[in-house]
Amino acid sequence: MEPKVAVIGATGAVGDVFLRVAEERNFPVARLKLLATARSAGRRLTFRGEEIEVEETSEAALADSDIVFCSATSEASRKWGPVVRERGGIMIDDGSAYRMEANVPLVVPEVNGDDLEWHEGIVSIPNCTTTPLVMALAAIRTVAPLTRVTAATYQAVSGSGAGAVRELDAQLRAYGRGEPVPAPEVYPHQIALNVLPQVDTFDEDGFTKEEAKMRNETRKILHQPDLPFAATCVRVPTFVGHAEAVHVELAHDFDLGAVREAIGQQAGLELMDDPANSVYPTPLNTAGDDRAFVGRLRVDPSIEHGVIFWCVSDNLRKGAATNAIQIAEELIRRGKL
Ligand SMILES: NC(=O)c1ccc[n+]([C@@H]2O[C@H](COP(=O)([O-])OP(=O)(O)OC[C@H]3O[C@@H](n4cnc5c(N)ncnc54)[C@H](OP(=O)(O)O)[C@@H]3O)[C@@H](O)[C@H]2O)c1
């Protein structure tokens, strides 16, 4: 099947990578509409060697699209999701607007692709820190059930969009020239040469919205609504690639070799773990790759049945564009468009 496709947010950080991933994977496209706001209307983007003019998002522009990929804002998702659904298309949404709604599957195809069976016209992809985490947890729980998860993240600025990439770049360049570093606009503090223990805004319980998303989305994808979970999400001055240090408690004793094997066998996940030779995933050595990576796998001696690992994935690829395209591929394969 060759679907008619529209991309809302085609000019953004995810939209840009989306077009490249669709080319690389030879994703079938009968017709492509590239949409954004009036600010970008008229810009030309290249797909498969052809220039396509960006249009302002509108009902007319979305008409007769079979699949609409939305990587824009929650407001845009809320506005256009029902329009796409009513016209019989499917929206695959990168944002957080629908992720926790009961009739919206939240999907990482290698983990819970079966949830696509009950979609009602909108499918969400998880937050970019949740995706690699649930892939690793899904593998580990084939060895022993999960009883508790805690994580600390190290998140690249591209996770906040193209504006944040420009902000870090401008601050680093000014620092390199010995000039005053420009004041922050995207983040509450300077991000260059700094580390911010805040991703998104704070809720009343002291956690940030990003930390709540990680907890709620992990529970939904793994179908473990009561899984004890706590995270601290941190923004670091890297451009691409989110890293996480994850501590997991299991229900019973386990063999670390079996965990290693389970991670090695998990589709989409790659074990990169040879500490004696300083081999482990980093944002730089995994950027541009569609897989998620795990390293530093070890027993946690501070608790019973504990395991610790480090995971990294390209937030714009597996954390966003690649996962969205894999969902579309899976929908086509299952005849669920
Ligand atoms: N960055 C990541 O790692 C990542 C990972 C997973 C999910 N996501 C989600 O993906 C979405 C996009 O993120 P991003 O990083 O690509 O952001 P971005 O670089 O800021 O790009 C935003 C895009 O959305 C468009 N847009 C903004 N408001 C719109 C509206 N009202 N109607 C239509 N288009 C609109 C913008 O168009 P203009 O160019 O016209 O302004 C631009 O193309 C967000 O929901 C984000 O949470 C991002």
| Nearest to 155, CA basis, from 165, 142, 166, 145 | 165
Q: What is the pLDDT of residue 1?
A: 81
Relative to the CA of 158, which ligand 1 atom is closest? 1
The DSSP 8-state label assigned to residue 279 in this structure reads B
CA distances from 225 to 55, 97, 128, 205, 222 (A): 41, 19, 20, 19, 8
Q: Which of ligand 1's atoms lies nearest the C-alpha of 16? A: 16
Give the CA diameter of the chain.
Answer: 60
Ligand 1 pocket, residue 126 CB under 6 Å: no
Determine the Cα–Cα distance for residues 235 and 246; give it in Å rounded to an integer: 16
Residue 169's pLDDT is what?
98
Does residue 81 line the site of ligand 1, with CB under 6 A? no
Task: Yes or no: say if 36 and 62 are a contact pair by the CB < 8 Å rule.
Answer: no
Query: Rounded CA gap, 100 and 62, in Å?
Result: 25
Q: Report yes or no: 248 and 137 within 8 Å, Cβ to Cβ.
A: yes
- 3-state DSSP call for residue 29? coil
Domain-by-domain residue ranges, the chain?
4-126+320-333, 130-315
pLDDT tens track, the chain, 337 positions: 899 999 999 999 999 999 999 999 999 999 999 999 999 999 999 999 999 999 999 999 999 999 999 999 999 999 999 999 999 999 999 999 999 999 999 999 999 999 999 999 999 999 999 999 999 999 999 999 999 999 999 999 999 999 999 999 999 999 999 999 999 999 999 999 999 999 999 999 999 999 999 999 999 999 999 999 999 999 999 999 999 999 999 999 999 999 999 999 999 999 999 999 999 999 999 999 999 999 999 999 999 999 999 999 999 999 999 999 999 999 999 999 8
Spacing, Cα 290 to ligand 1 middle (Å): 20
Inter-residue contact 110 to 137 (CB < 8 Å): no
Are 264 and 158 a contacting pair, CB within 8 Å? no
* CATH among 3.40.50.1000, 3.40.50.300, 1.10.1040.10, 3.40.50.720 for 4-126+320-333: 3.40.50.720
CA nearest 322: which of 285, 289, 294, 293?
289
242 belongs to the catalytic site = yes
User: Do the first three CATH levels of 4-126+320-333 and 130-315 match, i.e. the same topology?
Assistant: no
Q: Taking Cα atoms as reference points, which of 327, 305, 320 lies closest to residue 242?
A: 320
| CA angle at 38 for the pair 121 and 101, rounded to the nearest 5° | 25
pLDDT of 269 = 98
Asked if residue 283 has its Cβ within 6 Å of ligand 1, the reply is no
Q: Whose Cα sits closest to atom 15 in ligand 1?
A: 161
Token digits for 49? 């060697």
- 320 ligand 1 Cβ < 6 A: yes
In CATH, what number does 130-315 get?
Answer: 3.30.360.10
Query: Ligand 1: which of 11, 14, 134, 158 to mutate, most ligand atoms within 8 Å of CB?
Result: 14
Entry field: residues in the chain: 337
Cβ(158) – ligand 1 distance below 6 Å? yes
Q: What is the pTM of this model?
A: 0.97
Token pair listed for 284? 């730089």
Q: Is 154 left (phi over 0), alpha (psi -120 to 50) or beta?
A: beta
